[in-house]
Amino acid sequence: MSASCHGAGPAVLAGPRTFTVALAGNPNVGKTSLFNLLTGLQQHVGNWPGKTIERRDGHLTVDGLQVAVTDLPGTYSLSAHSLEEVVARDFLLAGGADLVVNVVDAANLERNLYLTTELLDLPCPVVIALNMADMAAAQGWRIDPDRLARALGVPVVPVVASRGEGLAELRSLIARAARGEIARKAGSNPAGFHFSPEVEAGLERIARLLPPMPLLPPRWVAIKLAEEDPEITARVRHRVGADWDRLQDEIAAALPDAPVVLADERYAWVARAVREATAARPVGLKMTPSDRVDRVVTHPVLGVPITILTLGLGIWGTFRLTAPVQDWIGRAFADLGQMAAGWLGPRGPAWAGPLVRDGVIAGLGAVAAFAPLIAGFFLFLGLLEDSGYFARAAFVLDRLLARAGLHGKAAIGLMIGYGCNVPAAMAARTAPSEADRLLSVLLSPLVICSARLVVISFFATAFFPAGTGAWVLVGIYVLGVGLVLAMSRLFRRTLLPGGDEPFFIELPPYRRPILRNVLLYAWQNTWHYLHRALTVIAPMTTLIWALSWFPAGEIGRSPVGWLGRTLAPLGAPLGLDWRMVVSLFTGFLAKEGTLSTLAVLYGHAAGAGLGPALRAAVTVPQALSFLVFYSFYSPCLATAVTIRNETGSSRWMYFSIGYGLVVAGVLALVVYRAALLLGG
C-alpha cells in the first residue's frame, strides 16, 4: 500500500514502488541547487498538469532504494493566493510525497520557518535542510542544529548546497524515512509546533462542524477556514450549501479575529524556536557586502540605468558570442542541403532535391540555428538568477512598468525579446501569477527581435539617407516600446485583470553562481525548445515550401502566390502589393526570410541590387507602411509554437497572431495615410 500525506503510519518502501521526496521552501533558499546535487542529470523538466508552472522531477538511489525527488515551486506559504502556492499545496494534499524536505535559509531563519509551521500542519513526515549556514555565520548568526531540531520536533540537517556539504547526512535521513524510521501519524497534532490551548480548542470545535472532505484532514481544513483561505472556503461553502452563514457564525464565535490570531501565534512560536536555537547576533555588526552593493544597484535614480546596461550588455554579449556558432550551423545545413539536392537531382523527380534542400533540411537548420541563441540566453538568465541579481533587476524595473500593469519580472523577459522572442516567451515562466505570465507571453511578439532588425535596417538604409534612416530605426523601436505599454494596459483592463498588487520580492544575498546549476538550467530549456520545435517547425517548413513550389516550380504561380494576389486587396489600403503580402507569409516562418522572398519576387539578389529595385517599385509611404506592419504583424512560427506550449492552449497562440495583425494593420494604415498627406 502506498503511504502518503494521508496515509497512517510510516511510509515504508515495499516492492517496486518508488519513495517520493518533495523539496519545499521559500524562493531563493537554494532549493534548486540541492535538487541538482541530489539528482544530478537524472532529472527532467515539464509543466504541472493543467498549469504553466515549471515542474522538475528527478531520482536518486540511496542504500539501494529508488527515490523520486520533486522540486516544488518556491512559496512563502501554503495558502491559495498564488499559482505556486496552489501547485505546492495540491501536490502535498494529493499524497504526492512520502517525505517533505523543507529547505530553509539559515540567514533568514525566522521568516523561512513560517512555511515550516504550515508544513507541520500536514501529516507528512518533514525534515529540515538548514541551507546557507556559512552565510548565516558570516552575518553573525550561530545556530545549533540539535537545539533547533528539538524546538521544531523534526530532524534538522545543516547543508551548504553551493559546496555539497551535508549532502551525505541528508541522503541518510531520506533513506531512514524510506525505511519507515521517520513518520508522523495521520490526524495527530504535529510534533513541536502547536497553537495555544485556546486556539486548539477553537480549531477542534470548528473541525467537528465540518462535513467530510475527502483526502483533507479535518484539523487542517479548520485551520484554513479560520485563515480565510479562498480555495478551501469555496469548497466548504459548496458542500454545506444553505448552512454556510451558520458555519461562518460558529467559526467567528470559536475563534474571533482568527486570521490575525493564527498568524500571530505562528510567528510567536517561530520566534521562540529561533531564540532557543540561535545565539544572539552581535550588536553593531557591519553592513554586509550585499547591503553595500544594493545601495547602488537598487538606488531610485542609479538603479534603472544600471539594470538596463546590465541586461543590454548581456543580450549584446549573447548575440556576439553565439552569432559565429549560428552562422556555422547555417552554413553546415546549407552545405548538407546542397549535397542532398545534388545527390537526388539525377535520381528523382525535379522537385525532390529542392524539397529536401529548401524544405526538410532548411526547416531542421532553422530549428538548429536557434539552439545556440536559446542556450546563450538561458545561460545569461541562469547567471542572473543564481547570482541573486535577477531579483534586483525585477525590483528596479517594476517601478517603470507598474503603471502599465506589468510585473517587474516581465521586464527581463521583454529585454531578452530584443534578441529573440522565443526565449522571451519562455522567460515568462518566472512571472508570479497566471495572469502576469499570460500577459508577458502575449506581449513578447511586440518586441522587435534581431531577425526583424535585419529587414528594418535594410529598408531604412535603402529608402532614407544615412542620418534619416537611423532616426527611422529609432522611431520603430520607440513605437514598439509604446505599443508594449499600451497593449499591456489594454489587456489588464479587459482580458487579464490584476497586476495592481504591490510587488514584493525577497532580495537574496549575492553569491557566486554554481556553474553546474546554470549549465543544467540552460541545457534543460534548450532541449525543451528543440524537442518541441522539431516536431512542429520542421514539418511546417516543408509544408510551406511545398505550397510555394507546386505546381509550376515558382512562388508566383504557386498556392502561396495565388493567396498573396487574392489578399492583395487587403494590403492595398496600406500600400502593400501582392509581393509584399507574400513576403509576409514567409516572414511568419522566419522573420529574416522576408528579405530573401522580396529578392526573389522583385528579381534581384538580396544584396546591392535589391535596394534600387525596391526604390523603383515602392514609394516611401509604402516602405514606411510595410516597415510598421512587418515590425508588429505576427510572431514568427517558432514564437507562435512557443506561445502555444507556454500557455498550454492553441487559443492564445491564435489570439496573439490575430491581435498582432489588427494592431499592425491599424498602425500601418495611419502611417501610410500620414506619409501620403505629408507628400511622401
- Report the distance separating Cα 71 and Cα 91, nearest Å: 11
| 310 is an annotated ligand-binding site residue | no
Q: Provide the b/e sequence for 276-310 (b: ≥16 CB within 10 Å).
A: ebbeeeeeeeeebebeeebeebbeeeebeebbbeb
**131 annotated binding-site participant:** yes
Residue 332 DSSP symbol = H
CA distances for 202 relative to 196, 219, 237, 336, angstroms: 10, 10, 19, 75
Residues 6+ positions from 627 with CB-CB distance below 8 Å: 456, 459, 460, 472, 476
Instruction: Check whether 409 is labelled as a binding-site residue.
Output: no
State CA 220 to chain mean position distance: 31
Residues 6+ apart with CB under 8 A from 249: none
| Annotated binding residue 133 | yes
* Residue 40 is assigned to a ligand binding site: yes
Cβ–Cβ < 8 Å for 126, 154: yes
Q: Consult the annotation and say whether 54 binds a ligand.
A: yes
Residue 342 marked in a binding site: no
Q: Is 621 annotated as a binding residue?
A: no
Q: What are residue 45's DSSP bridge partners?
A: 56
- Pair type for strands 278-279 and 142-143: antiparallel
Q: What is the CA radius of gyration of the chain?
A: 29
Residue 96 has what DSSP assignment?
Answer: -
CA distance 293 to 272: 32
Q: Classify 194 as helix, strand or coil.
A: coil
Question: Is 26 marked as binding a ligand?
Answer: yes
Buried b (16+ CB within 10 A) or exposed e, 108-134: bbeebbbbbbbbbbbbbbbbbbbbbbe
Whether residue 72 is annotated as binding a ligand: the answer is: yes
Amino acid present at 419: G
Is 50 one of the annotated binding-site residues? yes
Q: Is 134 assigned to a binding site?
A: yes
As a whole number of angstroms, the distance between CA 398 and CA 646 comes to 23
Q: Cβ neighbours of residue 279 under 8 Å, at least 6 residues apart?
A: 141, 142, 143, 144
Was 74 annotated as part of a binding site? yes
- The answer to whether 559 is annotated as binding is no
Does 29 appear as a known binding residue?
Answer: yes
SS3 assignment, position 543:
helix
39 in a known ligand binding site: yes
Instruction: Give the list of residues 6+ apart from residue 262 with CB closer than 8 angstroms, or none.
Output: 195, 199, 223, 226, 227, 255
Question: Contact, 211 vs 236, CB < 8 A?
Answer: yes
Query: Would you say 30 is a known binding-site residue?
Result: yes
Question: Is 373:330 a contact under the CB 8 Å cutoff?
Answer: no
Is 143 marked as a binding-site residue? no
**Contact in structure between 149 and 189 (CB atoms under 8 Å):** no
* Contact criterion met (CB below 8 Å) for 149 and 192: no
Binding site for Mg(2+): which residues?
36, 39-40
Binding site: which residues?
25-32, 36, 39-40, 50-54, 71-74, 131-134
Binding site for GTP: which residues?
25-32, 50-54, 71-74, 131-134
